[in-house]
A and B are shown apart, each in its own frame.
Chain A
Amino acid sequence: MKMPAFEYACPETLAEAVALLASHDGEAKPIAGGQSLLPMMAFRVAQPTLLVDLRKLAELRGIRISSDGVRLGALVRWRDIQDDARLATAHPLLADAIKHVAHYQVRNRGTVGGSMAHADPASEMPGVAVTCDAEIAVRGKSGTRTIKAADFFLGALTTALAPDEIITEVRLPAWPANRRHGFQEFARRRGDFAMSGVALFYDLDAGGKAANAHVGVIGVGDHPKRLAAVEAVVNGQTVDEATIAKAVAAASAAVEPPDDIHASAAYRKALTGTLVERALRSAAA
């Protein structure tokens, strides 16, 4: 057996799950699909002494769409998002981004809450959450709270979650009809972690100019972030060749990616510019 030994519990209620986590001094972990946590345990990067399986908590399931936006229960799987035809209009950026998440088999088990809690720097869901100013609803022993996506990701595999807190829901603000978007990422093998990825949107004003631009990047830092310099270039402009060229230059300059075995920092900077170009072209098309 590859993984370290641990105890396992499968509580019937959220309160019970929180109590189990709180009773283990930070050594317990919730498990949903396990598509990030189990590889971490196979490598012994994570060695929890207790796994709290969330699968019986029906209140964490379901995609709710209203005039306030899209609420994704923590146990919503990538597969559920892909199968929900409403999201093509209710949140097309989410729908496009989730097509890039992992592989077929992983999409059948991987969850929204698991991806957010794992906080891989190249993951799509955290990137969408940060780009869209999502809120993350969590429950811990001292009650519930919501955390803004911008405050949630603290570093690679590090979040603002306390050890006894469980993500219950990710809330994406409503998507207006005049919003344009693009999502682009590049990986050597489809479904693998992106060397860089770009999620962006802007709203078209009455004069056909871009406003409220949000440009987020994944895979080029220790957590997803928005690029204010690129947003400033796009806001107030018609998204034409000149604007795109400025945005590309601003994006390459704004990111400080790492060198690693997958790509050099210089390559990632250039790639991020290219992906911003492609995302803006698809948004304007």
Chain B
Amino acid sequence: MAVQFEVNGKPVSVEVEPRLTLADCLRHHLRLTGTHVGCEHGVCGACTVIVNGDAVRSCLMLAVQAEGAKVTTVEGLSNDADLTPLQKSFRKHHALQCGFCTPGMITTAHALLSEEPDCDADRVREVLSGNICRCTGYIGIVEAVLDARSAYKKAPAP
């Protein structure tokens, strides 16, 4: 089936089988391999992308369901010039080790902070409960997200 949607601000058109998940479509058809695939059944959160402003698990969405949607992946949350405030905060707080879960953490945190720049530590923990990290113990990640709040209060990060 032909499907058209927007990824990181650019229109894309792909020919896919209905059973292809959005995650696999992003990685295999569009070569956006920043989106990581962990459990492939909606438990680990590694594949989180932002669809029409909402954080969603791209392994629990079919590519054909993305018709007409605006999709933002982790690639869309960075730029070549400099680290974004969220990226800087993750580095400062050692919020990653192996990095496998990091794209999902970044996309989830970006969606949260864009909507709730005043969220507290409890809310950050609640939201990140859907993202599994096996390295860090989460403390650095929670601190990084909290520390990045200031950047989202002034103007939305890229």
Contact = CB atoms under 8 A, between A and B. Distances in A.
Given A53-B65, A103-B45, A106-B60, A8 B129 contact: no
Given A1-B24, A8-B62, A105-B56, A189 B129 contact: yes
9 contacts: A2-B21, A35-B60, A38-B59, A39-B60, A41-B19, A104-B129, A105-B108, A106-B130, A109-B54
A42 B40 contact: yes
B129 A191 contact: yes
Nearest to B65: A53
Contacts of A43: 41
Interface in B1-28: 1, 17-21, 24
Interface in A26-56: 31, 34-35, 38-39, 41-43, 51, 53, 55
A104 B62 contact: no
A17 B20 CA distance: 22
A1 B19 contact: yes
Interface of B: 1, 17-21, 24, 40-42, 45, 48, 54-57, 59-62, 64-65, 67, 108, 112, 126-127, 129-130
A260 interface: no
Interface string A94-116: 00000000111110110000000
Nearest to B1: A8
Contact of A104 (B59, B64, B65, B108): B108
Contact of A105 (B18, B20, B24, B48): B48
A159 to B, nearest CB: 21
B54 to A, nearest CB: 4
Contacts of B59: 38, 42
B73 to A, nearest CB: 14
A34 B67 CA distance: 15
Given A6-B18, A38-B62, A191-B130, A105 B40 contact: no
B18, B59, B60, most chain A CB atoms within 10 A: B60
Contact of A34 (B62, B112, B127, B129): B62
Choose among A34, A55, A103 the residue with the greatest number of B CB atoms under 10 Å from its CB: A103
A79 B116 CA distance: 14
Given A1-B19, A34-B60, A38-B42, A105 B55 contact: yes
B61 A104 contact: no
A4 interface: yes
Given A1-B24, A5-B19, A8-B18, A106 B42 contact: yes
Given A38-B61, A38-B62, A104-B126, 13 more contacts: A1-B19, A2-B40, A8-B1, A31-B65, A35-B42, A104-B129, A105-B45, A105-B55, A108-B54, A108-B55, A109-B57, A189-B129, A190-B129
